[in-house]
Amino acid sequence: MQARREGWLSGLAGVVIFSASLPATRVAVADLSPLFLTSARAVLAAGLAAALLLLLRQTWPRRAELLPLAIVALGGVVGFPLLTAMALQHITAAHSIVFIGLLPLATAAFGVVRGGERPKPLFWLFSCLGSAAVVAFALGRGAEFSLAGDLLMLAAILVCGLGYAEGARLSGHLGGWQVISWALLLSLPVMAAVALATLPADFTAVRAPAWLGLAYVSVFSMLVGFIFWYHGLARGGTASVGQLQLLQPFFGFLLSAFLLGETVTPMMFVTTLAVIACVFLARRFAR
């Protein structure tokens, strides 16, 4: 019980950090290309990860762990950041948040395939209800649709769910922050080459908000958030803690209201309460 509670608290911290990722990415791609943004955030985060691994004298991963780490890198370091950055050239950050409601289902499904978890049937029922509530609320905001943007976001959710589930499986014996740190280092040679090849032609044309967006997704979205998230998944269970992602869209909307002055409607709070109920009910039947 204590481990599951600790897992939920750690997972919640990760969700709060991740909730600002899409708005920050949307600001950054206004002046930076998706390829440069994806590679640069990975390079900067890898530098911080390397410092942590050296300072804390972590042992190298075993050969058998390299392929799972590559899957984590494919999902969390390369796939999700690149696909969302590309999608946000076609759709707004608010529209992209629709798809975040599908992350718990993707994470739970890959947790079943890769981690051997077996949630009860009622888990899937409440998980689907929670996801449906998130999607219905976001669609009710009148966001404009883009086929290219929607397909890119769907692909991003799939690779992210795979990366989350694989990272949770590794975190049980490798450690949560170590998983994302080694995944970042594993992808560093390729990401560094891409970053150099896609440098902005004119750095003076890149405005301050874009650099701030890059800084946030590099430090928090790419490293700090994953430290909390993978620890939470490992301690509390992929399917159970993964349901906290249902709250991420609402944290994102709240941050938009606080930072950008957007209106928060009463329906948002009603829907949030319904989603929270689904999260806790799904948690009860996750094992």
pLDDT in tens, 154-211: 899 889 989 888 887 887 778 778 888 999 999 999 999 999 999 998 999 999 999 9
* pLDDT: which is higher, 272 or 217: 217
Average of per-residue pLDDT across 68-93? 90
pLDDT tens profile 115-155: 666 777 787 787 788 778 777 776 665 555 677 888 898 89
3-state secondary structure 181-208: HHHHHHHHHHHHHHHHHCCCCCHHHCCH
pLDDT digits (tens, 9 = 90+) for 238-284: 667 767 877 887 787 777 677 656 555 677 667 767 777 777 777 66
Question: Could you identify the residue written with the tokens 């997704």?
Answer: 217
pLDDT at residue 259, as a whole number:
67
pTM score of the predicted model: 0.81
d(CA 69, CA 79): 14
Is residue 230 within 8 Å of residue 176, measured between CB atoms? yes
Q: What secondary structure does DSSP assign to 51-114, as a single string?
A: HHHHHTTPPPPPGGGHHHHHHHIIIIIIIHHHHHHHHTTTS-HHHHHHHHTTHHHHHHHHHHHH
Lowest-pLDDT range of 31-35, 143-147, 228-232, 233-237: 143-147
Helix (H) or strand (E) holding 137: helix 121-139
